[in-house]
Structure 1
Amino acid sequence: MNKRMIIMLLGVGILFGGIFGFKAFVNAMIADFFDNMPMPTATITAGEAREIPWTRELEAVGSFTAVQGAMLTSEVGGIVREIRFQNGARVEAGQVLLVLDDESDQARLRSLEAAQRLADLELQRARRLAAQNNISEAELTRRESEAEQAIAAVNEQRARIRQKSVRAPFSGDLGIRQVNVGQFLSAGDPVVSLQSVDPIYLDFSLPERRIGEIRREQTVNVRVDALGREVQGRVNAIEPAVSASTRTLRVQATLDNKDGSLRAGMFGRVRLETGEPEQRVVVPQSAISFSPYGNSVYVISEDEEGQLIVNRRFIQTAERRGDLVVVTEGLSPGDRVATSGLLKLRNGSRVEISDDEQVQPRESLAPRPDNA
């Protein structure tokens, strides 16, 4: 009985051993097949590391502000009698924009002017009498004082009447009026905004560590996304003190705005060139795999059979501008790099470069294809 059991157990062991051995053999053959199976050729696009003149730039985001801007109000209250402007109109300094009802003030002015004429006549009569020694010096002085008081009263009333109108304090463009004819306007109520935007200011801030790189009259290039174009101006003012809370320095530039396309409140992307151009190696940004562990590119070369392959190479990068990135270490001018299909590549991958026309990388802050 024991002998049979032993033989049976041996048979079962041999059977299972054969099964497991065959399974291991099959797995080994499959693994060997995949290890030796040639990788499929990946289709990519390629770019070239090239050396170009590169000027260091400061970048910031700024906001356009009017050279002069104000919300016009009335100094005194009253009923609106006339509105002498159109919404959005261009006006000149001193132009009357709104008139309040001044009928009672005009009547008061006529009364004071009559009193002034009477005081003037009495003064002239007093002077003739004084020349004949017919009145005292005190009486003449009183008449002179009354005449001066009458003139002052007239001037005061005229000033009060002038306050019944709203005038443009400077030349500029009006906004949309906030009053209507017949409406009662209290002192200080808003009437219409007035902005002088030719030229126009652009305010922006720079970190305090870049103070030494900016100066007055420096050229400023501004990309205005709302207009889809770039405009140019010059630095006209630099704040003398750094903000203690933000550690930044406020800078103001002036730009021409003859067509009025730039509006107060719009924002722009600012570029300021600092220093002379230097030769730097650049590659398209699409060629770089950015990673916390290091940035890399796939460099294209030929193997022993003349087939194109790629190998991963870690690089050091610096400034970026538009589609281009400066490479300080890891590439030389003329090195070809993959610019698309990076996720399907690994060291030694065979590649085929697509014949499709590529969009050329540019330095612009907002690059656009030629056919856009």
Structure 2
Amino acid sequence: MRKAAFLIVAVAVFALMAGAVAVRELLREPEQAFAGGGVQPVEVADVTTATFADTIEAIGTARANEQVTISAQVSEIIGRIAFESGDRVTAGQILVEQAGGEEYAALNEARATEREARQEQERFRDLAERGIAPTQRVQETQAALDRATARVRAVEARLANRIIRAPFDGVVGLRNVSAGELVGPGDIIATLDDVSRIKLDFTVPERFLSVVSAGQVIVARSDAFQGETFDGEITNVDSRVDPVTRAVTVRAEIDNSDGRLLPGMLLTIEVRRDVRERPAIPETAVMRRNEQAFVYVVPTGDNPVIEARNVDLGVRSGAMIEVVSGLQPGERVVSEGTHRLRPGAPVQVTRQWHSTGATAVGTAP
């Protein structure tokens, strides 16, 4: 009996509370009931202008502008190493000198023979001018001088093959040899990379061939540099489509004068197209009714009353979204507190965000 009495009392109290709430709602002003009750505090944001672009996303591998493996042309012992790992070198700079004692001796012999042949040729030419020696003898001494000179050049070329020079400006990689070590053709002494510019090869599906061309801007990102972007430009599009993957290889170049990007790095690439200036608003300002997007516009002045306005939206990036139509730069929209509002509700602006503009991108369809 006590439990039943308690339940009856509880139900009665609940009914009285519900009735009080219903009576209060009936007594409220119609406009206040529609607007959500009194003046609502809101945060607003300016409609700003931002740069938007459709993008094609891909993944590519960084390559040096020029790259080569330093190796010897002949088998010989290393006499001197003129670089250290990581050195920056210029074109023509000596990197390695191989021993060449026998070749130097052969060069001295060849030069001595050349001097004798030149003296002999000059002597017979003088005699021929005075009519003492026959012209045929002059020709024979000239041929002997030419052979001696050719032998000197051949020995000098063999000696030059023992001096390894940098073919272009770049950075030397890790040194793999030591002085006194015997090296031959194919043995890797070091690598040399010109990283002043980075070549970036990546593939895109063939359906994008009509919208990808040389001169387009690309933006690359690397996990090694979180939050940073590297701007580049497409330089070439391959002349063939892979028949297996139905993709085409695209090459872009990125300025790397600071040397931060290294060959072999994996980069995420965005190819930007249809770059345009459009109004932009925070994504939090957008509401949806069925398939239609709308925002609450806050006019300037005292005691503003919000207006619901339909908008057509474009691409989005992060917290910003493109407005194709429905808003103009300089207007204000509610960015926080939209769920408490109804059209025609009076609002009080508690905070206003002034955007300075941004660059946004979206994924290509």
| 1:321 maps to amino acid | S
After superposition, give the CA deviation of every residue in 1:213-246 in whole Å (9 maximum; x if it has no partner): 2333333222333354112222222323333333
**How far apart are residue 204 of structure 1 and its match?**
2.4
Out of 71, 75, 90, the residue aligned to residue 77 of structure 1 is 75
Contact map agreement 2:52 2:322 (CA 8 A) in 1: no
After superposition, give the CA deviation of every residue in 1:93-142 in whole Å (9 maximum; x if it has no partner): 0001000101111011001111111111222223224742457x1x4333
* Structure 1 Cα separation of the partners of residues 187 and 194 of structure 2: 21
Alignment of 1:273 with 2:269, yes or no, is no
Contact map agreement 2:79 2:99 (CA 8 A) in 1: yes
2:342 is matched with none
1:5 is matched with none
Contact map agreement 2:282 2:335 (CA 8 A) in 1: no
* Structure 1 Cα separation of the partners of residues 249 and 57 of structure 2: 11
| 1:248 maps to amino acid | A
1:58 is matched with 55
Out of 310, 314, 321, the residue aligned to residue 317 of structure 2 is 321
Q: Secondary structure at the match of 2:67?
A: strand
2:116 is matched with 118
Contact map agreement 1:64 1:268 (CA 8 A) in 2: no
Q: Secondary structure at the match of 2:200?
A: strand
2:181 is matched with 183
Q: Which runs of structure 2 are paired with 1:154-169 in the superposition (5 Å)?
A: 154-169=152-167
| 2:230 maps to amino acid | V
* Structure 2 Cα separation of the partners of residues 244 and 319 of structure 1: 32
After superposition, give the CA deviation of every residue in 1:222-274 in whole Å (9 maximum; x if it has no partner): 23333541122222223233333332232222222221112112224324132
* Structure 2 Cα separation of the partners of residues 166 and 94 of structure 1: 9
With 245-254 and 148-157 compared, the bigger mean Cα shift is at: 245-254
Q: Which runs of structure 2 are paired with 1:1-372 in the superposition (5 Å)?
A: 55-61=52-58, 62-127=60-125, 128-129=127-128, 131-134=131-134, 137=136, 139-225=137-223, 226=225, 228-266=227-265, 267-275=267-275, 277=276, 279=278, 319-324=315-320
Structure with bigger strand share is 2
* Structure 2 Cα separation of the partners of residues 113 and 93 of structure 1: 30
**How far apart are residue 284 of structure 1 and its match?**
7.0
Q: Secondary structure at the match of 1:99?
A: strand
After superposition, give the CA deviation of every residue in 1:55-102 in whole Å (9 maximum; x if it has no partner): 332233332211111111111110011000121011010001000101
| 1:143 maps to amino acid | T
* Structure 2 Cα separation of the partners of residues 151 and 227 of structure 1: 62
Change (3 A) 1:51 1:159: same
* Structure 2 Cα separation of the partners of residues 47 and 239 of structure 1: 49
Contact map agreement 2:320 2:360 (CA 8 A) in 1: no
Contact map agreement 2:110 2:148 (CA 8 A) in 1: yes
Change (3 A) 1:79 1:66: same
| 1:259 maps to amino acid | D
Percent identity, aligned pairs only, is: 26
5+ unaligned residues in a row in structure 2: which ranges?
A: 1-41, 297-311, 340-349
Q: Secondary structure at the match of 1:209?
A: helix
After superposition, give the CA deviation of every residue in 1:186-232 in whole Å (9 maximum; x if it has no partner): 12211111111112222223322223323333332223333541122
5+ unaligned residues in a row in structure 1: which ranges?
A: 1-44, 289-293, 300-315, 340-344, 346-354, 367-372
* Structure 2 Cα separation of the partners of residues 121 and 155 of structure 1: 19
The count of aligned residue pairs is 336
Contact map agreement 2:89 2:171 (CA 8 A) in 1: yes
Change (3 A) 1:94 1:158: same
| 1:186 maps to amino acid | G
Change (3 A) 1:324 1:248: farther
Contact map agreement 1:317 1:327 (CA 8 A) in 2: yes
* Structure 2 Cα separation of the partners of residues 338 and 234 of structure 1: 36
Contact map agreement 1:323 1:364 (CA 8 A) in 2: no
Contact map agreement 1:60 1:205 (CA 8 A) in 2: no
| 2:132 maps to amino acid | Q
**How far apart are residue 163 of structure 1 and its match?**
0.4
When the two structures are superposed, what TM-score results if normalisation uses the length of structure 2? 0.65
* Structure 2 Cα separation of the partners of residues 245 and 46 of structure 1: 54
Contact map agreement 2:124 2:133 (CA 8 A) in 1: no
Give the greater-gyration-radius structure (CA). Answer: 1
Change (3 A) 1:186 1:160: same
Contact map agreement 2:71 2:184 (CA 8 A) in 1: no
* Structure 1 Cα separation of the partners of residues 154 and 98 of structure 2: 17
